[in-house]
Structure 1
Amino acid sequence: MTAAAASNEIRLTRVYDAPVAAVWDAWTDLAQVAQWWGPRGFTITTKSKDLRAGGHWDYIMHGPDGKDWPNYARYHEVVPRERLVYDHGASSADAKPLFHVVAQFRDLGGKTQFDMCMTLATAEEAQKTRGFIKAAGGNSTWDRLAEYLEKDDQGRELFVINRSFDAPIASVFDMWTTPAHLAQWLPPTGMTMAFRRVDIRTGGDAFWSMSSGDFTMYGRFEYLDVQRPDRIVYSQYFADEHENITRQPGAPTWPEKMVTTVTFTEEGAGQTRVQVRSEVLGVVTAEEIAAFVAERSGMTQGWTGSFDKLEELLPSVAAHS
């Protein structure tokens, strides 16, 4: 469970399926950092980096809209494979940093727990920064790191997204396993969802439809593992109205089947982090893998829209539970 954050702090915890040496190298080797640093759609150019106490990292983030964001970090502590402490958020060496960062790497025996604490001057500044990070999709940086580590170590392409909710883990889990609730928040914005058949348990399945009014698509979930309150694994594929497997409407090169693993983690009193990991299932072509990789930004937008609806729905559902 993550330690409670002070009002002027922003805390983040992730567990990566990679040894601590690999996670540290991904953070500190410039060639690797360039593969994942920044929100989806961003790239970076490093002007100079001196990884030592008193050193710095001077770089530019390039947004998908063409805007450049100069960044300057000043290192205070560098303990290889354990700890980085630095000031960040300045636009140049002479500018005032926006926040102080303590990043810690903990060896879990083949996995790595990464804890980061950003400390700002005031609670108001922390709240403002939370809003900026959310609007910019900044937390997708850590999802991209998970994808990069998996590709580097296992050669597998993943899609990863995390979201924290101010609700107990049991309530959040129920939103995924109660069909009436799931149908309210899961479909893309502008679409409605209906279950034609649903049995959410290990070995169960669901046949659903989603409609935008003049267009209806169908699909199936096959639940491979449902463990309350911390894990749901299901495969999914598109189907016709008779449940025959089909390709995604309008995307003939999209992989035929996917498998999604959803994990639920307590992050503090009454707070839960949800992680969604999706990958292709079965034999696929290089073209299908390329289509999956190219659509990560779109998947991030889709899940973000669904999570926004889930966030809005949770208080009213919890109040009546």
Structure 2
Amino acid sequence: MSAKANEIHLVRVYDAPVELVWDAWTDPLQAAQWWGPRGFTLTTHSKDLRVGGTWRYTMHGPDGTDYPNIATYHEIELYQRLVYDHGATEISPPLFRVTVLFSKLGKKTQMEMTMALASAEAAAETRRFIKQAGGDATWDRFAEYLCAQVEHKERFFINRSFAAPIDVLYDMWTQPDHLAKWSPPTGFTMKFIHTDIRVGGSSFYMMSNGDAENAVRMYGRAAYLELNKPNRLVYTQQFCDEHENITRHPMAPTWPETMLTTIQFTAETENQTRVTLMWEPYGTVTAEEMATFISARGGMTMGWTGSFDQLEAQLKK
């Protein structure tokens, strides 16, 4: 489905049955666990899930700003469809109309959302606002919440759609020359010392924020578990010293020793690809390490967003 100029279209696939996804969406107690960008909290004042009913709630930003909202429901088909107006307040009309379709994909659920605005200009402005506020992270938080409910695992998710064919995105993740140009943290450069990107292979790299004597240098290793071109890539990552001996995060000693990275590439159109990244501690993990991982999700979002911005810039070249 291609969105009209005045629409914002979003698709996510969640590894949970449709009934659980629907309930987590429509139950205000569950919604409070994931609704909104990272760092936001939610207070529901009232909810009447019926045609003509309203959900009155306030989102609280991390800076203390409150965002009141009155959503009015127009269509409700159990486990299948929700249509409602979003963004109204007691003194202002709705900002847009939302249509959400829930579809079974085996044991998974596809959520397809369309936000219809008054004009293409309004849609473009809303896209900018959502990006600046980190609003797309709402749906990553939703994935994390569902994962904890279904699998009792703590994971980190982030999604981004890129204007490039799926094969190109896969190559940007698996060809060292491309990977080194966009994947290091903002302000860092990356150099591969050796690479063997195949199942059972590994790569060893160094990242640095300059050539000065006091520059930060970080070494790391990736070991490849799955390469299924062009749809899926799975590998582990560890921090190392310059001799490739495993160490700990140089600035976070309680960070898990080994992380598992799973990348799913999904062709949305011939020239549009959605990348879904899932990150989780791997192997033996202490309670302290897991707590460090959970508390760092906001920072992970910022870090991966910076890398994805660099990837987007590389693709434009």
Question: Which TM-score band applies after superposition, normalised by the shorter structure?
Answer: over 0.9
Matches of 2:174 and 2:104 in 1, distance apart? 33
Runs of 5+ unmatched residues, structure 2: none
Q: Deviations over 1:260-294 (max 9, x none)?
A: 10011011231000000011101111111000000
Which of 106, 111, 116 in structure 2 is aligned with 1:114?
Answer: 111
Structure 1 residue identity aligned to 2:249 = Q
Equivalent position of 1:65 in the other structure: 63
Offset of residue 91 of structure 1: 2.6
Matches of 1:169 and 1:154 in 2, distance apart? 29
Equivalent position of 1:14 in the other structure: 12
Any idea what SS the aligned residue of 1:61 has? strand
Runs of 5+ unmatched residues, structure 1: 317-321
1:36-185 alignment to 2 at 5 Å? 36-92=34-90, 94-185=91-182
Equivalent position of 1:311 in the other structure: 312
Equivalent position of 2:25 in the other structure: 27
Offset of residue 315 of structure 1: 2.2
| TM-score (normalised: structure 2) | 0.97
Offset of residue 203 of structure 1: 1.7
Equivalent position of 1:319 in the other structure: none
| TM-score (normalised: structure 1) | 0.96
Structure 1 residue identity aligned to 2:310 = K
**Is residue 189 of structure 2 the alignment partner of residue 192 of structure 1?**
yes
Structure 2 residue identity aligned to 1:216 = R
| Stretch deviating more after TM superposition (296-305 or 72-81) | 72-81
Any idea what SS the aligned residue of 2:21 has? helix
Residue identity (%) = 61
Matches of 1:125 and 1:261 in 2, distance apart? 35
Structure 1 residue identity aligned to 2:67 = W
Matches of 1:62 and 1:87 in 2, distance apart? 20
Offset of residue 72 of structure 1: 1.2
Q: Deviations over 1:152-205 (max 9, x none)?
A: 111100000000011111111111111111001000011110000112222221
Equivalent position of 1:283 in the other structure: 284
Matches of 2:157 and 2:89 in 1, distance apart? 29
Stretches of 4+ aligned residues off by more than 3 angstroms? none
Equivalent position of 2:248 in the other structure: 247
- Equivalenced residues, count: 313
Matches of 1:178 and 1:269 in 2, distance apart? 21
Matches of 2:294 and 2:188 in 1, distance apart? 24
Offset of residue 74 of structure 1: 0.5
Matches of 1:99 and 1:199 in 2, distance apart? 49
| Stretch deviating more after TM superposition (71-80 or 291-300) | 71-80
Matches of 2:239 and 2:69 in 1, distance apart? 43
